[in-house]
Structure 1
């Protein structure tokens, strides 16, 4: 992907929005939400501030909430409707199909020819619609994806690393795919769909946890095009809690493999170039397999060293696999940080986080292969940006993940293996194992530290009020 990015960067970045030569079409903004009482106010402020002909704009709040968000949303929608905004509230008492089900329900009642989708934590600029809609003058375009920016990437070390990882995806990987004409996934939010394309592809389907990848691949295999517009940025909130990040990653990995099971044979039979098929197969499944491969190598190193010591040399070559992600992340940072020191200073920690969450992501792979859709567990959003705001005071904060115990066991096992290999006068691979052990301890330690922080906050709040966490 890094090579494809370098070859195609100039094709994608700096591309101006086409001149609008037609009348502005009808647009529906869809806002799928579930228990987002901290986010909904600023979300609706951003949507109602859009610079677009009012008579051609519909805003749908697709609310599946089960907490006090329902009342908050109802009051806000009533207020904006009284002010003359075309805001429609569609509340469901069940979450059938989860986000896909909510979007499909909204699709049936959407008046717009084009459908913009935003998650609760995304805040587009007022000119977003007028910058995106003109791309659809090409009648072959099914969707336009814009780039995610970060409101809180400096909040803590976790948000900083997650922001870097997402930049690698949006800056390098998506640019490489778009510039090379490869299959590219819609990212679930901060994008717009042509309604006809969604309907022709079979609509939003809730049989996977990544309905965005599912729909985008179905439309592209049917012959539709897409546009990636990285110069149009929508700011959003990053998970500030390690366990929230873990939950998000499990859903993404599991959903990706569910889509792979669903579409892989259709992809292989699709009338598209072989190279496009090949890269599409990698996109659907192979991108996440390095997590499982990393874990497997670390587990097998100790028994292999006892039974077949010569194989350690072969295992040592697996260390070269880490250079690819490092180069990828470095390219992404180059886009925003010309200073070489700033580019490389945090790269080791990002690589270590990737190793540290391999247990978590491998669990996502296994459940993706072995189970059906499952429950769509949203990533909790806290509406925090300032470093002085405490995420742990938020009622959506999560308890510690059981995966943390496995991460600690893996770190201990790998540390013991590396010490044994050092004693046996093996030096190259044990160094990599030591780094991996520290990686597992780093990720597990973040969960433990934040869990303790959360427990202290909850204890103080219970002492002050019988109602518990803040509302």
Structure 2
């Protein structure tokens, strides 16, 4: 029998994995758009509801002083008949608490909860949930600007079926003063948005968006709310809800405008936290997924595991490529260089096709998105490299780190404004 070339298979996997995943996302994204998305007229025309139950909007805040006035202006302007706003000041060291108290005197539907020390976003959300008066919760970050119709778009899913435990919205980048900021416009449109559509079409979503999402309080109570010892509470709560057989939906019309890192250091810290959160959630919940009744989560797990394998296969390819410059590497260990040949052209064409499809779908959510096309074409290289190295670092960092207590938060890099 001819010797099976394991390394050859791995090297081919390293180059073809991005192509296959891109095609996978495009197929799912187009299916989602055709079946669920195109029938809606756009974000300004939310679906009519038979009843409009009261909604509690939760806003955990930590050192958001310069941003709370702008953020709160979008919340009080929600086009929804009945809602309360609960802002949770999580032990901020700036004037966030004082600003929120002043705003509470101006808006009768705003309540402020002050926590005496920083106990993390998960704990702040739990405190807000326990203080809320509604079964339906809309949760946003303290630096996000919520579209006036976002609440109705999110809640319409929760009231449409008792099985819906959460709905994730559609974050849009608003700081675009640097190359990194402009490229992230393409990432959230052509990559993250497409992945969310595809995962929803195939049955399960890896994570709700921590910056804009809605929850059913009953579902949260069943799973014990957000875990305060997880580095990414949004990924963890998404997995636990779906393991408990709750449905999570994606609503692209529920827009929230967010600030993102525009420095390499800030972007690295953010994505390393995301990567660590994925590893952490998998290690904690993998055993509970060994059950046929939870088989719909297997696709999400497989997709994530393949991304981890890809990262380490690419690391092996890079190491062997570097060694070939200093040693006589056996032919079967030679990668032939890191620059792909004909399949590189296929990857480029595939990426351009993905961008074109995402621009077509997203044209209703953002005017002038095509002007970012030049910057978007540079993002695949940056996206895959960032995913590669953050995964490589996150796996051992998470697996071999000591157990930690409460996961508190620090103020992130929000770019240049």
TM bucket (normalised to shorter chain) is 0.7 to 0.9
Deviation at 1:355, TM superposition (A): 5.2
Structure 2 residue matching 1:91: 3-state secondary structure: strand
Change (3 A) 1:31 1:326: farther
When residues 172 and 180 of structure 1 are mapped into structure 2, their CA distance, relative to the original with a 3 A threshold, is same
Give the aligned partner of residue 124 of structure 2: 102
The change in CA–CA distance for 1:15 and 1:292 in structure 2 (over 3 A counts) is: farther
TM-score (norm 2): 0.79
Counterpart position of 2:396: 366
Aligned equivalent of 2:90? 64
Distance in 1, Cα, partners of 2:91 & 2:356 = 37
Query: TM-score under structure 1 normalisation?
Result: 0.71
Q: 2:172 aligns with which of 149, 172, 183?
A: 149
Q: How many angstroms apart in 2 are the aligned matches of 1:94 and 1:330?
A: 49
Counterpart of 2:93 in 1: which secondary structure?
coil
- Structure 1 or 2, whichever has the larger Rg, is 1
> Which structure 2 residues correspond to residues 239-388 of structure 1 after superposition, within 5 A?
239-269=261-291, 271-273=293-295, 276-303=296-323, 306-313=328-335, 327=350, 330-336=353-359, 345-346=374-375, 349-354=378-383, 356-357=385-386, 358-371=388-401, 372=403, 375-378=407-410, 380-382=412-414, 384-385=416-417
Alignment of 1:395-434 (within 5 A): none
3-state SS of the aligned residue for 1:60? strand
CA apart distance, 1:81: 2.7
- Displacement after TM superposition at 1:310 (Å): 3.4
Q: Distance in 1 between matches of 2:396 and 2:137?
A: 34
RMSD: 3.1
Match of 1:21 among 34, 37, 50: 50
Hey, what's the Cα distance between the residues in 2 that align with 1:330 and 1:162?
Answer: 18
Equivalent residues of 1:151, 1:236 under 8 A apart: yes
* SS of equivalent to 1:50: coil
Distance across 1 between alignment mates of 2:165 and 2:311:
32
Aligned equivalent of 1:397 = none
Question: What is the distance in 2 between the residues matched to 1:91 and 1:296?
Answer: 50
Cross-structure match for 1:410: none
Is 1:44 aligned to 2:76, yes or no?
no
Matched residue SS, 2:307: helix
Q: How many angstroms does 1:333 deviate by? A: 4.7
For residue 260 of structure 1, report the CA deviation from its aligned partner: 0.5
Structure 2 stretches lacking a partner, 5+ long: 1-23, 41-45
For residues 399 and 337 of structure 2, the distance between their equivalents in structure 1, rounded to whole angstroms, comes to 27
Superposition map of 1:160-171 within 5 A = 160-171=182-193
Distance 2:127 2:80 in 1: 24
Shift of the 383–58 alpha-carbon distance from structure 1 to 2, 3 Å rule, reads farther
Aligned equivalents of 1:143 and 1:50: distance in 2?
Answer: 20
In structure 1, stretches of 5+ residues that fail to align are 386-471
Contact in 1 for aligned 2:71/2:146 (Cα 8 Å): no
Aligned partners of 1:93, 1:77: CA distance in 2, in Å?
Answer: 15
SS in 1 for 2:253: strand
CA contact (8 A) 2:63 2:411 kept: no
Please give the secondary structure, in 2, of the residue aligned with 1:149: strand
Shift of 1:348: 5.4
- Is the 1:9–1:179 contact (alpha carbons within 8 Å) kept by the matching residues of 2? no
The answer (yes or no) to whether the contact 2:58–2:139 under 8 Å persists in 1 is: yes
Contact 2:189 2:359 in 1 (8 A): no
Q: 1:351 to 1:128 in 2, by over 3 A?
A: closer
Query: Which residue of structure 2 aligns with residue 465 of structure 1?
Result: none
